[in-house]
Amino acid sequence: MLCASITTMEDVPLPLANSDEQVCIYPPCENAGRRMEAPAALRLWHLTSLDAPTVAVVWALAFARAGGIRLPLWVSALQALGAWTVYVGDRLLDARSGLRRGAGHTLRERHFFHWRNRYVLAPLAACAAAAAATMIVFLMPIAIGERNALLGAAALVYFSGVHAPGRRKWQPLPKELLVGVLFTAGCALPTLTRLRMLGAGWTELASLLGAAAVFAALAWLNCYAIERWESGTSAGTIAPWKAAAVLAIVSLCLGVLLAWKGDVRIAVLMATASAGAMLLALLDKERARLTPVALRAAADLALLTPLVWLLR
């Protein structure tokens, strides 16, 4: 059925990724010719869906450092492979659905890139999924696997609901919020699980759980801002820079409180979240200066603020 659908898509004309139809969803359109484009490497990082696994690995390592543990190398590899597989699959399904419904104008350059290169990306994603499954079977301890199975089941339910034929009828929570919670859970769970296995109680993990909640809010903000930018929706919703400012202040205040209590590592983690929120606020204010791809790539790049701490 999928092969038949792909065959019928061959003759569907694809809108140019840099056409006015794509650019004009980021007002004001009259400045489109003067917008800054992302460097080639940054464009490729975004268009090939390498941004999501990069953020996942950086956040997971940041949570581990805040918790005072060292994650095995295979955990980072598993997170990178899993995130990349999910995002490639999501963009291919979005592109296929949009083209089948004649709604190509709702797609973005990343969707067209994935669709044009589907015969390369789809097999690579399948190989990545197989490699991830092999790691789970042969490397993941049973105790950890049982806990992660719940997260995997939740992600599967979300993914199926989003891409089911009647997906618009199934939306108990905003998509951006679900993505933020699931993404952060996948990053924080390896650290939380290992600390629990080492005997830490939930009261001892309260600060780390608070940091996870802040990063979930940051992930939501990233998705929310991108959705606002790409849809042009503004009526009845809070401006992303305002939400980012609130999150930055809350994160910074929590970080100061934690530092005063002596929990320096998690305080630094909170500070990196605050920096990420401030960068998203700046991007929202300056969005008219960037092309759509540059804006989206920069929004994902803003989530890598913990990398500054990790590289010290």
pLDDT given for residue 294 in this prediction: 95
Higher pLDDT, 179 or 118: 118
Amino acid 9 reads M
Question: Amino acid letter at 74?
Answer: W
Distance, CA of 298 to CA of 279 (rounded, Å): 9
Q: 288 near 31, Cβ under 8 Å? A: yes
pTM: 0.84
Q: Across residues 216-232, what is the average pLDDT?
A: 93
- Predicted confidence band of residue 95 (pLDDT cuts 50, 70, 90): very high
Model pLDDT for residues 150-194, shown as the tens digit of each residue = 555 555 555 555 555 554 545 566 788 888 888 998 899 899 988
Bond preceding residue 240 cis, omega within 30 of 0: no
Taking residues 108-124, report their average pLDDT.
96
pLDDT at 178: 85
Asked if the model's pLDDT at residue 126 lies above 80, the reply is yes
> Please, are residues 167 and 161 in contact by the beta-carbon 8 Å criterion?
yes
Q: What are phi and psi of 102, to 5 degrees?
A: 70, 30
Residue 57 near residue 100, CB atoms below 8 Å: no
Q: Are 292 and 108 in contact (CB under 8 A)?
A: yes
Please give the average per-residue pLDDT across 3-25, as a whole number: 35
Closest CA to 237 of 283, 292, 290, 176: 176
Q: Where are the domains of the chain?
A: 38-310
- Average pLDDT of the chain is 83
